[in-house]
């Protein structure tokens, strides 16, 4: 049984059936664009979201326009609205002559109205303003919920809501982001311009589907890195559940650290939904396109504005969230390379409080041999040794395989061949144990035979490679003073 609204109202069953008839007709069967257009405006009207049925939102949600869409120069919505009105008129002059309900789109807007074909029905959108002026608020809420549920069931039965389902998974097909529901039906899709050549490797989290703001709806995040990212940098796009663009956050900012200034060309790498003091936030990591700074930002998921930022002297490659203090608040544990200036630098592991301002403020004392080049701000920070086999072969000691297992952190320092040194650390970043891959000693011996190394691997060097050095803040990983900690 359906829901019958009071006299003068249009039932959701009638709207769903009318929409199904139109979309199944010959006039609309070959036009996916008009089908999407009509389904979108009917769905929003029944949901009483009339303020959304505007030219700009339609352009983005239905016609895949970018956030820079300008209706003054791009008339796609108006042109297609004329086509839609003409197709509807042709349908109701032909196969739809006997339909009990007519869907019409009055000129001057995009909100459909519904009326009886014989002229006895209402000529207004299916809103229920009288409910909000009438009896009780709970009755209004219940009625709206029932309307939406009934229409959703009817449209699902008619198999016409595949473009507007609940996002569950995503596929990146070339430059087209395709968002799918739980039944692998397309909810919506967006096609972007050419992507950067390093996009597939350098951007780890390309997209994310989650309720990032706790409103009960699934948002879709996409890490955009255009072809000219060296000039413009990358950005994070947030789409509503229906595909409407909510906001765009541009990574990075012009920064000066010490005597060097850096432009704002950053590329996003990681996206992590987090909670800080019970408030939902987004943690993003972006690395400079060419030089060393890395930006970690806490973003308000509702507006896309940065609340706090942390800067690291080298690219951050991975980040894991864990409550290391057992106080119910998560911290961010990251693995990075610390290499400002010239040189390979060192692998690094750091811990950030959420929000970052929870970390104690540490004052750099005059004469400190290892001042933080980007300002510090970590709860804990440690450098790991760079093996001499990496130095002589020019391999960046980029840490890999960061994991948290109960009260332990594991991370690996690579070598020129598959393998490396695996470290197990406690939450204070002290080394609990370490081990070499099976090929480590053989590779070291081979480089010595080739006279690339001037010494064999000794027990003393092996022991030295198991040492992590903790700092109150991230130092310069290429500082000559670090040599005193590792002789090899």
CA separation for the pair 450, 431 (Å, rounded): 32
For residue range 466-478, what is the model confidence (pLDDT) as tens digits? 999 999 999 999 9
User: Does pLDDT of 120 surpass 50?
Assistant: no
The answer to whether 216 and 280 have CB atoms below 8 angstroms apart is: no
For residue range 371-414, what is the model confidence (pLDDT) as tens digits? 999 999 999 999 999 999 999 999 999 999 999 998 999 999 99
pLDDT for 79: 93
Q: How far is CA 430 from the centre of its chain?
A: 33
CA separation for the pair 175, 120 (Å, rounded): 49
DSSP-derived secondary structure letter, 131: H
For residue range 22-79, what is the model confidence (pLDDT) as tens digits? 988 888 877 888 988 999 899 888 877 887 899 988 998 888 888 788 888 899 999 9
Residue 33, SS3? Answer: helix
For residue range 208-257, what is the model confidence (pLDDT) as tens digits? 999 999 988 999 999 999 998 778 899 999 999 999 999 999 999 999 99
For residue range 82-96, what is the model confidence (pLDDT) as tens digits? 999 999 999 999 888
Domains of the chain: 12-163 (no CATH), 165-313 (2.40.128.630), 322-331+339-488 (no CATH)
User: Does pLDDT of 7 surpass 90?
Assistant: no
For residue range 457-468, what is the model confidence (pLDDT) as tens digits? 999 999 999 999
CA separation for the pair 206, 203 (Å, rounded): 6
Nearest to 286 by CA among 259, 258, 262: 262
Residue 336, SS3? Answer: strand
Average pLDDT over residues 117-140: 45
pLDDT for 10: 72
Nearest to 238 by CA among 67, 379, 94: 67
Please state at what angle helix 76-93 crosses helix 32-46, rounded to 10 degrees: 90
pLDDT for 122: 44
Residue 487, SS3? Answer: coil
Share of residues in the chain with pLDDT > 70 (%): 88
pLDDT for 421: 97
């Amino acid at each position: 049984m359906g829901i019958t609204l009071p006299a003068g109202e249009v039932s959701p069953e009638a709207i769903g059936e009318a929409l199904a008839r139109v979309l199944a007709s010959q006039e609309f069967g070959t036009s996916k664009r008009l089908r999407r257009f009509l389904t979108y405006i009917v769905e929003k009207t029944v949901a009483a979201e009339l303020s959304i049925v505007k030219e700009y939102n339609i352009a983005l949600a239905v016609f895949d326009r970018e956030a820079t869409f300008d209706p003054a120069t791009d008339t796609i919505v108006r042109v297609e609205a004329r086509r839609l009105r003409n197709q509807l008129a042709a349908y109701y002059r032909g196969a739809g002559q006997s339909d009990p309900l007519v869907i019409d789109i009055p000129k001057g807007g995009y909100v459909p109205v519904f009326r009886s074909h014989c002229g006895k029905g209402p000529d207004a959108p299916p809103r229920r303003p009288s409910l909000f002026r009438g009896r009780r608020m709970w009755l209004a809420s219940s009625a709206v919920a029932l309307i939406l549920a009934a229409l959703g069931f009817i449209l699902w039965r008619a198999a016409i809501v595949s473009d507007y389902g609940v996002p569950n998974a995503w596929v990146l097909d070339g430059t087209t982001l395709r968002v799918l529901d739980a039944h692998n039906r397309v909810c919506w899709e967006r096609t972007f311009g050419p992507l950067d050549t390093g996009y597939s490797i350098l951007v780890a989290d390309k997209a994310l589907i989650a309720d990032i703001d706790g409103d009960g709806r699934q948002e879709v995040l996409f890490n955009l890195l255009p072809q000219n990212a060296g000039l413009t940098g990358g950005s994070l796009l947030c789409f509503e559940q229906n595909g409407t663009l909510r906001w765009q956050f541009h990574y990075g900012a012009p920064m000066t650290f010490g005597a060097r200034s850096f432009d704002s060309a950053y590329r996003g790498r990681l996206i992590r939904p987090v909670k800080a003091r019970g408030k939902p936030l987004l943690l993003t990591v972006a690395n400079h396109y060419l030089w060393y700074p890395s930006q970690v930002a806490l973003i308000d998921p509702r507006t896309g504005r940065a609340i706090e930022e942390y800067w690291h002297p080298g690219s951050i490659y991975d980040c894991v969230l864990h409550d290391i203090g057992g106080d119910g608040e998560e911290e961010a544990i990251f693995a990075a390379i610390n290499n400002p200036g010239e040189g390979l630098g060192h692998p690094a592991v750091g811990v950030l409080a959420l929000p970052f301002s929870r970390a104690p403020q540490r004052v750099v004392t005059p004469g400190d041999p290892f001042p933080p080049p980007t300002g510090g701000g970590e709860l804990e920070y440690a450098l790991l040794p760079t093996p001499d086999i990496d130095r002589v072969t020019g391999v960046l000691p980029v840490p890999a395989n960061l994991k948290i297992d109960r009260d332990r952190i594991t991370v690996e320092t690579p070598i020129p061949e598959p393998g490396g040194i695996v470290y197990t650390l406690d939450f204070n970043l002290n080394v609990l144990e370490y081990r070499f891959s099976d090929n480590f000693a053989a590779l070291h011996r081979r480089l010595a035979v080739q006279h690339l190394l001037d010494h064999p691997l000794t027990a003393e060097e092996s022991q030295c490679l198991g040492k992590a050095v903790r700092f109150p803040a991230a130092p310069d990983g290429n500082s000559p003073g670090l040599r005193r900690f590792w002789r090899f």
